[in-house]
Amino acid sequence: MTPPETGLTAPLSLRPDLDFVDRLTALAGDSFTRCYQCGTCSAVCPFAFQGTSLPRQEMLLAQWGLKDELLSSSNLWLCTTCGNCARLCPREVDIPGTIRAARELYLLDRTLTPELATAFENTSRHGNPFGLSARKRTDWTAGAGVEVPVLSRLGRPVEVLLFTECYWSYHPRGQAAAQAMARLLTRLGVDWAILGVEEQCVADSQRLAGETGIFEEAAAANIAALGKYQFDRLVTPDPHAYNAFRNLYPALGGRYAVQHYTQFLAERLGELPLHPAAERRATFHDPCYLGRHNGEYEAPRQLLQAIPGLTLVEMGHCRAEGYCCGGGGGAIWNSAFAKDHVDERLAEVRVREAAGTGADTLAVCCPFEVSLFEDAVKSTGNDGKLAVRDIVELLDEALGSA
Ligand code: SF4
Ligand code: SF4
């Protein structure tokens, strides 16, 4: 029988790898097979204006089983797993989950960027992405100006365990925020403590960058350390840690009453004697893993609105429509890669939007964001015009203890 005339002059070059589709489905579920290429996701992706076709193209490559094309796409590593796409997808495709799973398969036999490889290696060997000694995890406490209790020395249950995570423990700008939090907790009379050197990176960002093994090892270590002590609630400044404790640790055996620090402080707002400090016109950046992924939009705003002398102005992209800082999903450690593939970093786009509101302060409540945005303030020419402050630093300032 003569085959029908197709009009094709060259053979189709599609090489669907059905084993790859099966492995992707095992890790991410099969929601990507429902994608019908409407393009809604690509229209709202923060990379929409960078000439990428993220993530519609990647969902198509996944659906068609085009393993090499998907795994060699630079989009795979640009995505910050911010979730803005999935929020509007009419077919409820788990886009960040599919991207994360493709990264996990990428890691099996392909080479990572040096930055990301170093962050993974450091987390695995030292329990933090900086590669600093575990013994230095409590160095920040020396500059707090108040006593910082450590659970292993207290030898009794506490009301609040402050799980500081790596940026508040090691990064100079994070340490300033941790010290402010210590002063606030002390002023509130909270019975609190930290895990200290027993704490390890929660590694949620490493997981989102495909490193499930590091995440699970870190979770086992943290759950074992936390299991030695009694506390009523676990409070953390890191939205990624909050996400992991809230959504992932229970399945691994770690069940805690967990709050982001803004949620905890918002409950105690009436007890904080806040005084007029600097007159500020502030705008607030919603962290993707506090807002969009976990639904908390009010607590940070309640804190900001309670600060005397501070006027809150919103950016166009806010709350569920917030614009990613560019640091999520492991991208915080892949900045050289992003720089090579986009005209302007997401943090720079966001800083321009913040400056456009007329604000003099960009308020944040994710430890990644302070240094990311401070760099972007400089590179966009806004140095001296826009200050980046963690909300806890603004509260500390209004307490007069900074
Ligand atoms: S919004 Fe959903 S259905 Fe539409 S292209 Fe994106 S992934 Fe596919
Ligand atoms: S998760 Fe965010 S960065 Fe990734 S494809 Fe979706 S909208 Fe784009």
| pLDDT band, residue 15 (cuts 50/70/90) | confident
Please indicate whether residue 39, judged by its CB atom, sits closer than 6 Å to ligand 1: yes
Please indicate whether residue 49, judged by its CB atom, sits closer than 6 Å to ligand 1: no
- The atom of ligand 2 lying closest to the CA of 84 is 7
Centre of ligand 1 from the C-alpha of residue 323, in Å: 19
Task: Pick the closest to residue 389 from 381, 398, 255, 380 (CA basis).
Answer: 398
Q: Which of 3-12, 272-281, 288-297, 362-371 has the lowest mean pLDDT?
A: 3-12
Query: What is the tally of helices (H) and strands (E) in the chain?
Result: 20, 8
- Atom 7 in ligand 2: residue holding the nearest Cα: 45
- Domains of the chain with CATH codes: 18-109 (1.10.1060.10), 128-267 (no CATH), 273-399 (3.40.50.10700)
- Overall average pLDDT of the 315-319 stretch: 98
Centre of ligand 1 from the C-alpha of residue 28, in Å: 16
Ligand nearest to the CA of residue 46, numbered in listed order: 2
- Atom 2 in ligand 1: residue holding the nearest Cα: 89
- What are the tens digits of pLDDT across the range 161-187? 999 999 999 999 999 999 999 999 999
Please indicate whether residue 36, judged by its CB atom, sits closer than 6 Å to ligand 1: yes
Among 85, 91, 92, 98, which residue has the most ligand 1 atoms within 8 Å of its CB, making it the best to mutate? 91
Question: Using CA atoms, how far apart are residues 294 and 328, in angstroms rounded to an integer?
Answer: 14
- Atom 6 in ligand 1: residue holding the nearest Cα: 41
- What are the tens digits of pLDDT across the range 185-195? 999 999 999 99
Per the prediction, the chain carries an average pLDDT of: 95
- What are the tens digits of pLDDT across the range 93-117? 999 999 999 999 999 999 999 999 9
- Atom 1 in ligand 2: residue holding the nearest Cα: 81
- What are the tens digits of pLDDT across the range 140-163? 999 999 999 999 999 999 999 999
Better pLDDT: 396 or 48: 396
The pLDDT of residue 401: 60
DSSP letters along 316-338, please? SS-GGGPPP-S-GGGGGG-HHHH
CB 93 within 8 A of CB 32: yes
Centre of ligand 1 from the C-alpha of residue 53, in Å: 11
| pLDDT band, residue 17 (cuts 50/70/90) | very high
The pLDDT of residue 4: 42
Please indicate whether residue 43, judged by its CB atom, sits closer than 6 Å to ligand 1: no
The CA–CA distances, whole Å, from 327 to 33, 80, 177, 247, 272 equal 28, 7, 18, 20, 32
The CA–CA distances, whole Å, from 389 to 210, 319, 322, 396 equal 31, 19, 18, 11
Ligand nearest to the CA of residue 88, numbered in listed order: 1
For ligand 2, which residues put their CB under 6 angstroms from it? 45-47, 54-55, 79-85, 95-96, 324
Among 34, 38, 52, 92, which residue has the most ligand 1 atoms within 8 Å of its CB, making it the best to mutate? 38
- The atom of ligand 2 lying closest to the CA of 83 is 1
CB 219 within 8 A of CB 252: yes
Please indicate whether residue 41, judged by its CB atom, sits closer than 6 Å to ligand 1: yes
Backbone angles phi, psi at 236, to 5 degrees: -135, 150
